């Protein structure tokens, strides 16, 4: 059940299920352009839970232009090496 907070229209009370799941309200998903399944970083700050949406590397496809051209084999090798050599450990 989702109820709007009477003091702040940008806040809502949400339910955390027994499995630890919660639904992000539509206005928040819209504000952060969250469409479909999205990865997020979760951290605690004192008694506050902070959830920060993150785009994964592959969702950025086409957002940058380059003159670099790779064969399919080179691209596969680069993709396989990325998580081992470059990905940030969270």
Q: What is the pLDDT of residues 3-19, one digit of tens each?
A: 444 545 677 889 999 99
Domain that holds residue 53: 1-60
Residue 5 lies in a domain: yes
pTM of this prediction exceeds 0.85: no
- Among 38, 44, 6, residue whose Cα is nearest residue 24: 38
State the Cα–Cα distance between residues 38 and 32, nearest whole angstrom.
11
pLDDT value at residue 62: 61
State the Cα–Cα distance between residues 77 and 74, nearest whole angstrom.
5
pLDDT value at residue 7: 47
Residue 15 lies in a domain: yes
Cα 52 to its chain centre, rounded Å, is 7
Residue 74 lies in a domain: no
State the Cα–Cα distance between residues 68 and 57, nearest whole angstrom.
18
How many domains does the structure of the chain reveal? 1
**pLDDT tens track for 38-68:** 888 899 999 999 988 886 666 666 666 778 8
Residue 71 lies in a domain: no
Residue 3 lies in a domain: yes
pLDDT value at residue 58: 61
- Give yes or no for a contact between 14 and 22, defined as CB atoms under 8 angstroms apart: yes
Residue 11 lies in a domain: yes
């Amino acid at each position: 059940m989702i109820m709007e907070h009477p003091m702040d229209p940008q806040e809502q009370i949400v339910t955390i299920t027994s499995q630890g799941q919660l639904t992000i309200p539509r206005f928040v998903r819209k504000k952060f352009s969250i469409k479909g399944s999205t990865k997020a970083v979760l951290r605690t700050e004192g008694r506050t839970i902070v959830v920060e949406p993150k785009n994964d590397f592959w969702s950025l496809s086409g957002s940058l232009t380059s003159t670099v051209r790779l064969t399919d084999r080179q691209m596969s090798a680069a993709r396989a090496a990325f998580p081992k050599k470059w990905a940030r450990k969270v």
